[in-house]
Amino acid sequence: MPESSLATLATLLTKHRQELLTAWSQLQEQDLSIRNNLLKPGELDQQTREFLDAFVKALAADSSGDVMRSESWAPVRELVASISRSRARQGFTPSETATFVFSLKQPLFNMLKQSLSADQLAEQIWATSALLDDIGLYAAETYQKGREEIISRQQQELMELSTPVVQLWEGVLALPLIGTLDSARTQVVMESLLQAIVDTGSSIAIIDITGVPVVDTLVAQHLLKTVAAARLMGADCIISGIRPQIAQTIVHLGVEINDVPTKATLADAFAIALTRMGLAVVRRVRRTGAAE
């Protein structure tokens, strides 16, 4: 990007700033009239003003036009990223968000037409257009990332919600796993279990896999790693609900499950847990009501 063109642009912008701001604002209002109810009143004005200010400042400080890497352009990048993210949250489309930047072209070109001669104009428009293209694309990119962050956060929350840890008794936790386990979900689940062990001060955790139809090597390894981690922390695990099919798979896969206690049902595991803790369940005899 020719340095002199952008330096010229910087000078012109500083000179005609107010008119440009007005022209751009008006243009945006026309385009966004349908979507304006998504933005808070005055929000568009503020974003427009802030962007123009940052844009002019950056251009004056660094006329190389290296928008993506130059330190002087960092404030513009951050501003665009934050506008993108908020537009993503507000439900705008990526195009609408990038248009915020592209819409500056028209008033900018008008200003250039009025201030420059014909031969300067072509080069200037090219340089300016390329600059705004870079910024607009950056807006679209950060919009995308904003969406991805939202989606991944929702996925995380969903995973955590669907794997509750249950306290069966003081010191005894149960983790009933249901459905197919993939690597990501298993990890989330295991981390929740370990945290629950700390939070409740439990020394025994029963991992019940009755509701898990398939166990592959990766899942089996995660399970064993969790058992090992719990042991390092001072809690013991019992795995319950292993169906015949899964027992066969485990042996065929060569997974070393030997030193982890296993029980057929959650109930059996709970009984073992109570015994280990020196507790017993006792039947109370009902008083007949006869006088003492």
Q: Is 212 in the site for other proteins (CB under 8 A)?
A: no
Q: Is 201 in the site for other proteins (CB under 8 A)?
A: yes
**Nearest distance in Å: CB 193, other proteins:** 9
Beta-sheet strands, E only, within the chain: 166-169, 172-178, 204-211, 236-240, 262-263
Q: Which of 269, 247, 268 is nearest to 258 (CA)?
A: 247
Q: Which is nearer to other proteins, 44 or 81 (CB)?
A: 81
Q: Is 228 in the site for other proteins (CB under 8 A)?
A: yes
Q: How far apart are CA 223 and CA 206, in angstroms?
A: 12
Q: Which of 217, 172, 211, 169 is nearest to 193 (CA)?
A: 172
Q: Which stretch binds other proteins (CB under 8 A): 15-23, 57-65, 106-114, 188-196?
A: 188-196
Residue in 151, 218, 225, 279 binding other proteins, rule: CB under 8 A: 225
Q: Is 256 in the site for other proteins (CB under 8 A)?
A: no
Q: How many CB atoms lie within 10 A of CB 143?
A: 25
Q: Is 151 in the site for other proteins (CB under 8 A)?
A: no
Place of tokens 């090992």: 228
**Nearest distance in Å: CB 198, other proteins:** 6
Q: Is 189 in the site for other proteins (CB under 8 A)?
A: no
Radius of gyration of the chain, Cα coordinates, nearest whole angstrom: 32
Burial of 114 (0-12, 13-18, 19+ CB in 10 A): exposed
**Nearest distance in Å: CB 259, other proteins:** 12
Query: Tell me, what DSSP letter sits at residue 165?
Result: -
Residue in 83, 174, 235, 250 binding other proteins, rule: CB under 8 A: 235
Q: Using DSSP bridges, classify how beta strands 236-240 and 166-169 pair: parallel, antiparallel or unpaired.
A: unpaired
Q: The tokens of 175 are what?
A: 């983790």
Q: Is 72 in the site for other proteins (CB under 8 A)?
A: no
Q: Which is nearer to other proteins, 130 or 229 (CB)?
A: 229
Q: Is 230 in the site for other proteins (CB under 8 A)?
A: yes
Q: Which residues fall within 8 angstroms of residue 197, CB to CB, at 6 or more apart?
A: 173, 205, 230, 233, 235
Q: Is 190 in the site for other proteins (CB under 8 A)?
A: yes
Please report, as ranges, the residues that interact with other proteins according to CB under 8 A.
68, 141, 145, 148, 152, 187, 190-191, 194-195, 197-198, 201-203, 225, 228-235
